[in-house]
Amino acid sequence: MNVKERFDVTAANSAPPTGHAVIQAYLKTLDGSPGVYRMLNAASEVLYVGKARALRNRVSNYARPSGHSGRIARMISETASMMFLTTRTETEALLLEQNLIKQLKPRYNVLLRDDKSFPNILIPTDHDFPMIKKHRGKRSEKGHYFGPFASAGAVNRTLNQLQRVFLLRNCTDAMFSGRTRPCLQYQIKRCAGPCVGKVSQADYANLVADSKRFLDGKTTDVQANLATEMARASDDMEFERAAALRDRIKALTQVQSAQGINPASVAEADVIALHIEGGQACVQVFFIRANQSWGNRDFYPRIPNDAEIPEIMEAFVTQFYDDKEPPRLLLLSHPVDNEDLVTQALSDRAGRKVEITIPQRGEKAELVENAARNARESLARKMSESATQNKLLSGLAEAFDLDAPPKRIEVYDNSHIQGTNAVGGMIVAGPDGFLKSQYRKFNIKSAAGANSDDFGMMKEVLTRRFERLLKEDPERTSEAWPDLLLIDGGAGQVSAVESIMLDLGVDDIAMIGVAKGVDRDHGKEEFHRTGQRPFALRMNDPVLYFVQRLRDEAHRWAIGAHRAKRAKAVSATPLDDIPGVGAARKRALLAHFGSAKAVSRAAIPDLMAVGGISEPLAQKISDFFNAKG
């Protein structure tokens, strides 16, 4: 993308001017080029990012003193400066606009807040007996990809069912090469047993081909072939083989019935439906691939109060496909702004034609209505949960004498076994419930971990957390700052945390220590606050249950992080310390030689026989082990 940037900022005064007059001053520097503009407030925070076919024409609209909606008028009144990026085409401007919105998160833009990648099913092509597995992220591995699926759960269910039908292995290549007898998957008829020669390479290739045909939507062909094979086996009096084929046909039928919506007239599409209620929006996306429904996901974009539906749809679609390949067809519940432009941008990204349509009748309209119904129901559930959550936060503020219901609660806990693999955990909760994307784990680096010093570990975690916050946002204007800390512990822990926070110069965040009480029973928790006597809540108080959930979630998160670190330490080998040997080469070396010890004894020509190991790297590996020896 060919982009040229111009940056103009109003001269800094104690109270810099804002409003349409400031915007008017930029017009003389602009021409009719397409591009992207940013509106900034007096603190240089980005308020809004927009695109324009002609920058001068678009900006001149904001320079008018009247005729704006309430949202735009407020935005103009706060604007103290602007930034401009010119592009070659309006399509480039659209893509750049949505990319900047996702990066900068301006308050006056529609923002897609959930930006997780979607999993796929992968059948690699670099093995004589390829496995079938879940894949997430960049498609860098050679093989056939099928997806996207809406969630890991949808992939796992499909993989589980496909293993029953096609008997493809799911073990790693290293495990495959080291087997001497069939594993449990073979015993329960979920694998053909290629690792120990229970199936020929040709027969296994047929299983792989059948699985690909099924995932491509050619289920009728697969079922017909299986039925023909079963009849032939029966005629040949191979009754055991016929029974096995019968079981596979039955499993295939169950897979098809479990897929739910299986449109006959739609081979590949994403169905996107929007529902707005009470100032909140839910977008439901269904993935249709190979005439099969591969799950759905709901999204809750942040929308300005007076945003129009076409504006919301355009923002969602362009942000959603910013890092994903769009399908050939998008079925929408509402029109998008600049449909031609959006279609061109998606087609450019996919490298083929992408069509956008709003169906009015037939099977496609039924698909959209189904997605719209799911959007309505999902938003109703979320609003109900939010009302309950807000009630709990208000009760928490009342119970602990806080100035207002907290918008961001951070809960901390540590986990270790006699000082080994010590980890600190932080979870976050607020009006939207648990904010799992903002959870953090801290590998304890100081001697506090080895000494099983819980106070020292807590000091390290809080120091690292708040020193970083102070560095990134010294004015404390962002939403990343908590207004309540929950600490697992009693008066001693609260006093220690207060001392730590005072040393950091952060002394205005409320904190509560949650101790288990004299009998250490669930439900008899004591709460500690600085300068106050310990107190307890009623056994059946909803606030008590809420605090218990927060503490237990922090405990679960910290223990999970500790177990992951411990498992990594168990699987560590000397190969981890060799520069240039990453995870893939480590797996290749272990698969080829069987152990790190065997690698250490290997000659350079033997090392070079492993895929991905060049002569210089083989020399480096040999030198590493010889130096250690």
pLDDT at 93: 92
User: Options 3.30.420.340, 3.55.10.10, 2.40.110.10, 3.90.420.10; which CATH number does 409-568 get?
Assistant: 3.30.420.340
271-315 pLDDT, tens digit per residue, is 999 999 988 899 999 999 878 888 888 999 989 888 899 999 999
pLDDT at 200: 92
Residue type, 599: V
pLDDT at 256: 53
* Cβ atoms 339, 356 nearer than 8 A: yes
d(CA 49, CA 84): 10
Locate the domains of the chain by residue range. 4-104, 120-258, 268-380, 409-568, 574-628
Q: Identify the CATH number of the domain defined by range 574-628.
A: 1.10.150.20
Q: Give the residue, 370 or 227, on which the prediction is more confident.
A: 370
Is 466's pLDDT higher than 80?
yes
In three-state secondary structure terms, 36 is strand
Is 418's pLDDT higher than 80?
no
Mean pLDDT of the 435-464 span: 81
Is 589's pLDDT higher than 60?
yes
Is 415's pLDDT higher than 60?
yes
pLDDT at 317: 95
Is 5's pLDDT higher than 60?
no
Task: Kindly report which listed range (162-176, 383-397, 510-524) carries the lowest average pLDDT score.
Answer: 510-524
pLDDT at 206: 87
Mean pLDDT of the 438-449 span: 81
Mean pLDDT of the 316-333 span: 92
User: Options 3.10.129.10, 3.30.365.10, 3.40.1440.10, 1.10.357.10; which CATH number does 4-104 get?
Assistant: 3.40.1440.10
Is 10's pLDDT higher than 50?
no
Select the highest-mean-pLDDT range: 149-153, 293-297, 398-402.
398-402
Domains 4-104 and 574-628 share a fold: no
pLDDT bin (cut points 50, 70, 90) of residue 367 is very high
pLDDT at 12: 42
pLDDT bin (cut points 50, 70, 90) of residue 359 is very high
d(CA 66, CA 451): 67
Query: Mean pLDDT of all residues in the chain?
Result: 84
Q: What percent of the chain has pLDDT over 90?
A: 32
pLDDT at 272: 96
pLDDT bin (cut points 50, 70, 90) of residue 11 is very low
Element (H, E) at 393: helix 362-399
pLDDT at 564: 78
- Burial (CB < 10 A; 0-12, 13-18, 19+), residue 132, is buried
Mean pLDDT of the 82-95 span: 92
Q: Identify the CATH number of the domain defined by range 268-380.
A: 3.30.420
pLDDT at 56: 93
Residues in the chain: 629
* Cβ atoms 237, 339 nearer than 8 A: no
pLDDT at 516: 76
Q: Which residues contact 459 (CB under 8 A, 6 or more apart)?
A: 448, 496, 500
Mean pLDDT of the 412-422 span: 74
Is 9's pLDDT higher than 60?
no
- Tokens at 132, concatenated: 């079938």
172-203 pLDDT, tens digit per residue, is 888 888 888 888 888 888 898 999 999 999 98
- Burial (CB < 10 A; 0-12, 13-18, 19+), residue 65, is exposed
Bridging pattern class, strands 510-515 and 484-488: parallel
545-577 pLDDT, tens digit per residue, is 899 889 889 989 988 887 877 766 555 677 777
In three-state secondary structure terms, 508 is coil
pLDDT at 13: 45
pTM greater than 0.85 (yes/no)? no
- Tokens at 150, concatenated: 């809406």
Q: What percent of the chain has pLDDT over 70?
A: 89
Task: Kindly report which listed range (19-28, 58-67, 487-496) carries the lowest average pLDDT score.
Answer: 487-496
Is 452's pLDDT higher than 70?
no
99-136 pLDDT, tens digit per residue, is 899 888 898 999 887 666 788 899 998 899 999 999 98
DSSP 371: H
pLDDT at 419: 54
